[in-house]
Structure 1
Amino acid sequence: MNQAPSVIVAGGAGYIGSHMVRMLRESGYAPVVVDNLATGHAEAAQEGTFRQGDIGDKAFMAGLFQEFKPQCVMHFAASSLVGESMTQPGKYWRNNLIQTLSLLDTMLEHGVNQFIFSSTAATYGNPVEVPIPERHPTNPINPYGHSKLAVEFALQDYAQAHGLRSISLRYFNAAGAHPDGTLGERHEPETHLIPLVLQVASGRREFISRFGLNHGTPDGSCLRDYIHVQDLCAAHLLALQKLEAGAPTTVYNLGNGHGHSVTEVIEAARRVTGHPIPVRDDPPRAGDPPVLVADAAR
């Protein structure tokens, strides 16, 4: 009987990573979760083999590569708060770039040359074309986007120098939860719009902040492209299959091509929940692009 192919899932105890671990297992793979639990939750990673540690710890990671002999690494582990990146840029360069370079080097030392990277629409900055195609110029306006784009450049160089093949997936806004209700968003503190709005509706939060009404959008509030976490993970599975078939290094957007404003999301939650959901209008946040909507045709 053939053994299930092993895939290391870095950050597999987090929101998106935990959904990916389940999908990999259900698709015939053997996921190995690596997470330092800085923001993840061990109980969310039980459907794979779990090892707690840092991806930048070369001795720790070398042991995992020797033990499990993975064919691919999926990299979800990152610091990902735009606002925090503006005030703590060093944290983002260390966690998102330096740790990733260490991981890539460890992969090469163990003959693993397939890598799927969680990138971001923040690499585009303020778009000059909407919807945003992959060929759009990259010009991040926050350290989070800078650090992710730096990894994309590194992956191009590693492909040329070492034959490492990667697919970078530029997320727009992940949303939703597993249909059976056992997995979902659990950020501490919560920063994503939809769960924040629902916390207000459930009485756990007094109001929702709306950051600016002068963004040049139809209702003035920021416009975002929301993609369900299950669809996001399905795209990762397709990326894995493409790498297995020999695909070269490339980049894809992950979005649905339709934007919804902050105000529209709040109004939708009011309709669904029947609660008023008070709003407080605050100043725009530094590093926040007014519009991010994917061209998802590729």
Structure 2
Amino acid sequence: MTPARPTTPPDPRPDPDPRPDADVRAVFARAAAEVVPGPLPLAAVRRAGRARRRRRTTALSAGSVLAVATAVAAVVVLTPVLPSPQAGGPARVAVPPAVVPTSSPPVRTSATPRPPAPTPVRTVASGERVDAGKGWRVWLTAAGKHWTGPDGYENTRSVTDGNVDLGAPGVSHQSEGGPKGAFHSGLYYGTRSAGRVELRNAEGRTAVATLLELPGRPGWGVWYAHTGPGMGEVATVLYDRAGKVLSELPLLRGATGPDRHGGASGGRPRPVG
């Protein structure tokens, strides 16, 4: 005998709503319909719009002013050019703008002449014959200066006969020659810092002498120089090694002339400074 099949109990849960989304939408629609919207803030919106327009206008105005200033500056630095000449008239040339000085012009002063450079002093032994050129020879001894010319005649200038004051700066001058030129020589004394003996004529032409001294710097020495034709009268100037004038003799003819020095035979040399 076949057993009976048990009966399945019915499902106690009811069937779900086939359209739940439709009910949710209906609920939200009813809630939205009950909301009353507030008034639109038109005045505040207008104020904000006006403020934005004012800011934009201000920025555009500042940019325009800057552009105009730049253009004006560029026009100022340009060189002005005259308009084109009329037909038939002469062509005009562009004129640069006038320059206004911003400071006073410098004051010109006369240039200070440079002092003459010192001449090296040659030290020679007593009695040493020095070839002075063109047949002339010069030598020194404790008694003074000695020289001889092309004719062989010997001359002497003493520093011990009392006619030379070795205690003060001075210079003497002897010259022998003719129209073709002259030989000049002399003593310088009263200083141990002799730097230069110079001959100068009225036109400013100069001749620099050679300086000789005995060993030990006795405080005196001998100078000699040659001048060519046309030199004429010359002045004799003694400088120290710093370029200061120690003594000066006025102009003397370039040909054979007297012995001039700080003693009885020629008058006192004119010390300077």
Query: Is TM-score (shorter-chain normalized) higher than 0.5?
Result: no
Indicate the structure with greater helix content: 1
More strand by share: 2
Larger relative contact order, structure 1 or 2 (CA cutoff 8 Å, min sep 6): 1
> TM-score with structure 1 length normalisation?
0.22
